[in-house]
Structure 1
Amino acid sequence: MAGPGVSRREAFGLVGAGALASAVPGLAGAATGSPPHERSGPLWFSTRAGQPWRSVAVPELTAAAANPFAMSAQIRLDAPKQTIAGFGGAFSEKGWEALSALPAPARATALERLFGDDGCAFSQCRTPIGANDISRKWYSYDETPGDFALSHFSVANDRETLIPYIKAAKDLRPDLKVWASPWSPPTWMKKGGHYAQAPAWPNNPDNGIRPDQLGREGTDSFIQEDRYFETYARYFARYVEEYAKAGIRIDTVMPQNEFNSAQPFPSCTWTPEGLARFIPFVGREMDKLGVRVFFGTLERGNADLVSAVMAHPEAAAVIKGLGVQWAGKAALPALAERFPKLELWGSEQECGVGTNDWHYARYGWATIKRYFQYGASAWTYWNMAMPKGGMSGWGWPQNSLVEVDTAAGTYRLTEDYWLIRHLAAFVRPGARFVPVDSFLGFDDQLAFRNPDGSLVLVTNNAIAQPLTVRNMIGGRMLSLELAPDSLNTIVLPASMIG
């Protein structure tokens, strides 16, 4: 289990508020103002299926072996790469409903597990502009047809769910950065006049879409007229302004979630040319507010879709980064090569099918590793919280970090939680990604150098037997004995590595 005398029930958070902090090493003293590695010496936490966050003694660094073939990998402290923007997850209406079903002390502890300094310490999160697939129902901020003046614009819906969720997070993490994207514009701005773009999935309520309202990949569902572009850009601006009044700064926006995908939930297809026409409009509005515009989110493994937008100088001048998710990961090599000056974010971890198991967490690790190795500076998990058996509003079972039993008033920290915590808890904004040169075929590691000089090494053992990994760090050797099928985070303070 998580440590001596710790039950599986305790380790996975089923006991409600307070108990977890004393049960699992490294959880005490949440939100105390500085991450654990800045308050102590070297750390090593190891997680296996059903055995999260076990504390392991960190061995001393030794002199380098005379035989170079004794080395598994070299951590290139002399060649740091991209600067890390942060880790986080997505705020959602159903997530806040789940957390709200907990007694206040348990809800506070669950939020500490996500945002506290002794939890995941999330520093950058995503939120939807209007309804998405984890909303309670369809809504936009102005469903009055032809309201080009946006006189009926209102974020009243969000004051019940998303705004209190984000504010609760910011109470623990005041410097939390928030970025946003829409799934669909108001229906009267779309050619089909419907929030969805495809019929409902089998065994789910009919979404009421007609054949003439269906969307299709490679087409523009948004009405391609300047007055609509101008109004939609001001719609973004009004959203940013209203959230600012609520005490929430939106740092970055992306013009459309998964712009190629016609879905049975809120969605809107765009062509690259359509996006290139719209982006200068939203860019002018965001410039007034000091908000960045990223291209995204890209959910296809085709870098040419980005290149087609960047070929338009007015759009390219606006775009400061790229948001990539799902099948978009296949485009990472080409994106890294073509756009080395654009910041690259992993904008949504694949949501699974609600199993919340170790198998899917292992898949998640492989996905995350790919992104950072191709230059990603941020990683965004999808559902931070969902009810047990959680389903999207349109019928897709969902994984989450915190699984809430709304009837019992308890929560469980899932296997995905421990995966994300192995990275997010220790890698601080401003850290640099450090390349790891593999030897003898072992390349299952990620390394980061924090602003305080500490080194965070996340090492995976994917095989069902113990594994010895010998890492060369600045001329000295760190030899690790990894448990079978385990994920490990080792934190070395600056004083230890020079």
Structure 2
Amino acid sequence: MKSTAVSGFLSACLFVACPSLAADSLQWTCSTEGSRWLDKAPVSLGETEVFSDAQALRVLVNTSTKLQQIDGWGGCFNERGWKAIMTLSPSDRKTLMDELFHPTEGLRLGLCRTPIGASDYAVDLYSLNEKAGDFAMEHFSLEQDRKWLIPYIKAAQSIRPDLKLWGSPWSPPSWMKHNGSLHGPGPENRIKDDVQTLDALALYFARYVEEYRKEGIEISMVMPQNEPNMTTNYTSCLWTGGQLSKFIGHHLGPVFEKRGLSTEIHLGTINDDDDRGGYAYWVEPSVADPETRKHLDGLGCQWDSAPTMEETHLLHPDMKLMQTEAECGNHENNWGFAEYQFGLAMKWFAAGAGSNMIWNLVLDETGLSTGGWAQCSPVVVDTKKREIIRTPYFHLYQHFSHFIEPGAHLVASTGAWGDKLAFVNPDGGAVIVLANRSDQEHPLTINIDGKRSGIVKIPARSFNTFVAASK
């Protein structure tokens, strides 16, 4: 694995402000495995194509054909990530947090997820109320969150005060489940769906939002359950699509309404599209129930559920759709994994996603989860050497998140160059992100609303962002 480490200085390649652009040129930023985040010579745009290379592929962008809005870029706060970050020196810790959350530099993350209770990257196994039968939530507590998650979030907020947060549990309290445990295999690891339990769980969510607000942290959105079809050796819980609909429409929504909470409720995080029917199994029960639909603000999908999102987008084009977690790999942290993530980004935006969410932002050098799964992350902290390592995934993500603003739109892009996505920012400026996943340099020409470039030679195995000034 090749990666870049902090060595007592801030790399200019990470903190680069967009230079002033002429209306007839493109700013070009390029990353290869050997040279990350390089500003290339600006690319001129004109009214006529000036090239003769018959091998050149085209990218054609039409900024007037706007597709879904892009709501933001981010990832998940997890306890083990903060534990790793805390091994760094104060100056390196600040460097890393700035690279992740600064509003104008680095990744510029502004939309992030946080677990409600323990995730598979928690330090301990817990929920926010393990007092069996406490339906009134008298023993609800953020004690564990105050050790890890809340300091992590507050450190990010100090850099990015407008950071938006959403939460989801990996498991409800153990006493709300048939197996009486926060985890475990088999069909007994499922929610109890009687009225008393679901009312208590709705109150659990409300208390979570209210208690976080007392900590100075606003939760803008919740989703009822992480991956509701999974039973695992880490926190998990089975739900059916019908149970999720019942909970949102007849318990969670009314409790939020009664307590004056404006926190959005999204169905999610759905993670499969198996023989149960995808959209029909997971989404249709919620959109078909008038009470649920009244309280439903969107849908969150991850892993294998892109077809579910795509069908939802076709049938309900006004519904907000989120890609809620990127695939996490097996600790490869190499260039090939970053290229794979580029392909996943294309898949999810094609399905209608309005966000692209990293799973773990930061892991230690082992990458190990509670269940023993070593996973990938944009940043690795070597806790023994006390060093920051930016993996290729960091730089890939930066090619999107650094340039594409919240409120941008995906726009139509055609042409023979396959690995491409195009966006238009709120100020009207165009952004094209493209990859060359081949082992050879390839010539390219770019056409944006009729203005054409000459030949641009795209390096082998590279990620590239082209930015056009607003009209």
Deviations 1:284-330 (A, max 9, x none): 23342110001101111222221233222211222111111011124
Moved more, 292-301 or 325-334: 325-334
User: Residue 40 and residue 157 in structure 1: after superposition, are their counterparts in 2 closer, same or farther (change >3 A)?
Assistant: farther
Does residue 473 (structure 1) correspond to residue 456 (structure 2)? The answer is no
Moved more, 298-307 or 113-122: 298-307
Aligned residue identity for 1:344: L
Aligned residue identity for 2:110: S
Does residue 457 (structure 1) correspond to residue 432 (structure 2)? The answer is yes
Does residue 51 (structure 1) correspond to residue 35 (structure 2)? The answer is yes
1:33 alignment partner in structure 2:
none
Q: Distance in 1 between matches of 2:120 and 2:50?
A: 57
Q: Distance in 2 between matches of 1:454 and 1:469?
A: 20
Give the share of equivalent positions with the same residue, in percent.
35
TM-score, length of structure 2 as denominator length: 0.93
- Structure 1 residues without counterparts, runs of 5 or longer: 1-7, 29-35, 199-213
Aligned residue identity for 2:111: Q
2:303 alignment partner in structure 1:
326
1:64 alignment partner in structure 2:
48
1:175 alignment partner in structure 2:
162
Deviations 1:180-207 (A, max 9, x none): 1001000011111011132xxxxxxxxx
1:242 alignment partner in structure 2:
211
Moved more, 296-305 or 249-258: 296-305
Q: Distance in 2 between matches of 1:130 and 1:443?
A: 41
Aligned residues of 1:37 and 1:493 also touching (Cα < 8 A): no
SS in 1 for 2:82: helix
- What is the Cα deviation at residue 66 of structure 1? 9.2
SS in 2 for 1:191: coil
1:396 alignment partner in structure 2:
373
Q: Distance in 1 between matches of 2:397 and 2:446?
A: 23
Q: Quote the RMSD (CA, aligned, Å).
A: 2.0
Q: Distance in 1 between matches of 2:439 and 2:47?
A: 30
Pick from 10, 13, 36 the counterpart of residue 5 of structure 2: 13
Pick from 349, 359, 378 the counterpart of residue 326 of structure 2: 349
- What is the Cα deviation at residue 369 of structure 1? 1.1
User: Residue 106 and residue 389 in structure 1: after superposition, are their counterparts in 2 closer, same or farther (change >3 A)?
Assistant: same
Pick from 183, 188, 191 the counterpart of residue 196 of structure 1: 183
1:143 alignment partner in structure 2:
130
Aligned residue identity for 2:245: A
Q: Distance in 2 between matches of 1:397 and 1:260?
A: 22
Aligned residue identity for 1:461: N
- What is the Cα deviation at residue 39 of structure 1? 6.0
Pick from 272, 283, 286 the counterpart of residue 300 of structure 1: 272
SS in 2 for 1:160: coil
- Structure 2 residues without counterparts, runs of 5 or longer: none
Aligned residues of 2:84 and 2:363 also touching (Cα < 8 A): yes
SS in 1 for 2:286: helix
2:340 alignment partner in structure 1:
363
Aligned residues of 2:117 and 2:171 also touching (Cα < 8 A): yes
Aligned residue identity for 2:297: K
Moved more, 343-352 or 475-484: 475-484
Aligned residue identity for 2:171: S
Q: Distance in 1 between matches of 2:34 and 2:112?
A: 27
Q: How does 1:75-224 map to 2 (within 5 A)?
A: 75-116=61-102, 117-198=104-185, 214-215=186-187, 221-224=190-193
Aligned residues of 2:309 and 2:321 also touching (Cα < 8 A): no
User: Residue 67 and residue 331 in structure 1: after superposition, are their counterparts in 2 closer, same or farther (change >3 A)?
Assistant: farther
- What is the Cα deviation at residue 339 of structure 1? 2.2
Aligned residues of 2:363 and 2:381 also touching (Cα < 8 A): yes
Aligned residue identity for 1:46: C
Moved more, 73-82 or 266-275: 73-82
SS in 1 for 2:125: coil
TM-score, length of structure 1 as denominator length: 0.88
Q: Distance in 2 between matches of 1:38 and 1:427?
A: 15
- What is the Cα deviation at residue 25 of structure 1? 3.0
SS in 2 for 1:121: coil
Deviations 1:447-473 (A, max 9, x none): 111112221110111211111221211
Aligned residues of 2:57 and 2:443 also touching (Cα < 8 A): no
1:414 alignment partner in structure 2:
391
- What is the Cα deviation at residue 46 of structure 1? 0.8
Aligned residues of 2:267 and 2:299 also touching (Cα < 8 A): yes
- What is the Cα deviation at residue 26 of structure 1? 4.9
Q: Distance in 2 between matches of 1:312 and 1:226?
A: 17
- What is the Cα deviation at residue 64 of structure 1? 2.8
Q: Distance in 2 between matches of 1:66 and 1:137?
A: 62
SS in 1 for 2:114: strand
- What is the Cα deviation at residue 38 of structure 1? 7.3
Aligned residues of 1:71 and 1:472 also touching (Cα < 8 A): no
- What is the Cα deviation at residue 58 of structure 1? 1.6
Q: Distance in 1 between matches of 2:392 and 2:166?
A: 26
Does residue 286 (structure 1) correspond to residue 261 (structure 2)? The answer is no
Aligned residues of 2:21 and 2:468 also touching (Cα < 8 A): no
Pick from 381, 385, 408 the counterpart of residue 362 of structure 2: 385
Q: How does 1:14-53 map to 2 (within 5 A)?
A: 14-15=6-7, 17=8, 19-21=9-11, 24-27=12-15, 36-37=17-18, 42-53=26-37
Q: Distance in 2 between matches of 1:60 and 1:466?
A: 20
User: Residue 407 and residue 26 in structure 1: after superposition, are their counterparts in 2 closer, same or farther (change >3 A)?
Assistant: closer
Aligned residue identity for 2:18: H
1:487 alignment partner in structure 2:
463
- What is the Cα deviation at residue 244 of structure 1? 0.7
Q: Distance in 2 between matches of 1:71 and 1:365?
A: 19
2:236 alignment partner in structure 1:
267
SS in 2 for 1:376: coil
- What is the Cα deviation at residue 484 of structure 1? 0.8
